[in-house]
Amino acid sequence: MGGTFNPIHYGHLVTAQEALYQFGLDRVIFMPAGQPPHKQDKEILPPEERYLMTVIATASNPNFVVSRFEVDRKAPSYTVDTIKALKKEHGPETNLYFITGADAVWEILTWKDAEELSKLCTFIAATRPGYSLEKFKKLHVLPDDQPLPRGKPRVYVMEIPALAISSTDIRRRVREGHPISYLVPEGVANYIHKCRFWIDY
């Protein structure tokens, strides 16, 4: 499960749990993006802080693990490099699903080595209810039994009501002094307040 996780919130956790359940996954590997290749935003906390909050948020779930792979990379985090490394680590027989937000997924055809990436994993795009799926038409959201056109990614769309929560809104709430309880796990909220993230940044 890839994301900037700036910060991780209950929408992400519900998405991971629902993917685990709906797709019968063995586990979900949270992969905080190290240096997002497409963003130069000063609001994005250092990778180590986003990694730490992800560990705090997932600590109690035995099916959730957090990887340092992208956080430790000096080079920009391209998904194709991450998926290749995971394939190597877990073996060619392992089926990999790349879970992330729909707004990121519908651009995958523009990502680095998109065709190769499409062969290495299946995509799960998480959306909030009411999200228009118009943009996904070019991505071939197909049932399992239909063969994919050459080089096209297989994308499943999963509607997650909890994705009404967003990292952008949480950062705004923190800046403006509004509560974030029940939007993020308690440990994450405590860590955000302790470090004064988005107030002193």
Q: Smallest distance from the beta carbon of 145 to ligand NAP, in angstroms? A: 27
Query: Is 126 an interacting residue with respect to ligand NAP (CB under 6 A)?
Result: yes
Query: Distance between CA atoms of 149 and 128, rounded to whole angstroms?
Result: 28
- Residue choice 22, 27, 38, 116 for contact with ligand NAP (CB under 6 A): 38
Residues 158-177 that bind ligand NAP (CB under 6 A): 163, 166-168
Query: Is 12 an interacting residue with respect to ligand NAP (CB under 6 A)?
Result: yes
- Residue choice 46, 94, 95, 112 for contact with ligand NAP (CB under 6 A): 112
Edge to edge, the sheet with strand 97-101 lists 97-101, 122-127, 155-159
Nearest to residue 157, comparing CAs of 172, 175, 174, 142?
142
DSSP class of residue 111?
S
Query: Is 111 an interacting residue with respect to ligand NAP (CB under 6 A)?
Result: yes
- Chain-centre distance for alpha carbon 118: 17
- The enclosing H or E element of 66 equals strand 64-66
Nearest to residue 128, comparing CAs of 166, 156, 99?
166
How many residues bind ligand NAP (CB under 6 A)? The answer is 26
In degrees and rounded to multiples of 5, residue 98 shows phi and psi of -100, 115
Residues 42-81 that bind ligand NAP (CB under 6 A): 77-79
Choose between 142 and 166: whose C-beta lies nearer to ligand NAP.
166
Choose between 145 and 157: whose C-beta lies nearer to ligand NAP.
157
- The contact set with ligand NAP (CB under 6 A) reads 1-4, 12, 15, 31, 33, 36-38, 77-79, 99-101, 103-104, 111-112, 126, 163, 166-168
